[in-house]
Chains A and B, each alone.
Chain A
């Protein structure tokens, strides 16, 4: 049972916009910024969004992040087949004094 809650799966067709949500609490998302990681099949995770809504250099602007209270979202617009991956949210947790991840959302591009 992950501290941060994500839907296990999501799907969309090419060109669509999909949103992945991440729910937490006051000790994690409510107190710290949220980061999103993309894990393509068989590869290491890659930083996709940091500090709630910032994109590292090289990440397309199709990817965007937002946060409100104790929940965060990752939006992917103009969905492409190469976006098929697992997506994880993460935030520091003051109660655990450690990093917590969401359980991950497997995105399928139909």
Chain B
């Protein structure tokens, strides 16, 4: 059974660093892209970026490039999303999800983590 289990809720102050995780199981971690999606309070879904654990190829949304870092550890089938200096505007739920690629024009997220609530407040 495919599962993505995310780390627990975090409360941080502006300027602090943070790394949240997405531990996967039930499939070959190295052969599927894993993406991150942000949902700010009461708002819609926004794509943050994606990583292919097999070769660490990483892509970022222009809105998030330089603001976050996505990484993966194949040895423990876990993907990460990290910030070096949090802002209040980073307050949101962050979801990880497995991406399936059917063809060059057909991709989708089939399994999702439960979400990690990140609260940044002074």
Mutual binders A and B: yes
Q: Which chain B residue has the least Cβ–Cβ distance from A94?
A: B105
Is A24 an interface residue when CB atoms closer than 8 A count as contact?
A: no
User: Interface readout for B92-118 with A: 1 if CB under 8 Å, 0 if not?
Assistant: 000101001010011111101111000
Chain B, interface size category, equals 20 to 34
Interface SS of chain A: helix, strand, loop or mixed?
Answer: strand
Which residue of the partner chain, among A33, A44, A50, contacts B115 with CB atoms under 8 Å?
Answer: A44
Q: Are A47 and B106 in contact (CB under 8 A)?
A: no
Given A33-B106, A51-B106, A98-B62, is A44 in contact with B46 using a C-beta cutoff of 8 Å? no
Q: Are A98 and B106 in contact (CB under 8 A)?
A: no
Is B45 an interface residue when CB atoms closer than 8 A count as contact?
A: yes
Number of interface residues of A (CB under 8 A): 27
Can you offer 27 A-B residue contacts whose CB atoms are under 8 A? A31-B105, A33-B107, A35-B108, A37-B109, A39-B45, A44-B112, A44-B113, A44-B114, A45-B37, A45-B95, A45-B97, A45-B112, A47-B109, A47-B112, A50-B106, A50-B110, A51-B102, A51-B106, A56-B110, A86-B44, A88-B44, A96-B61, A98-B62, A99-B107, A100-B47, A101-B46, A101-B47
Residues of B within 8 A of A (CB): 35, 37, 44-47, 49-50, 59-62, 95, 97, 100, 102, 105-110, 112-115
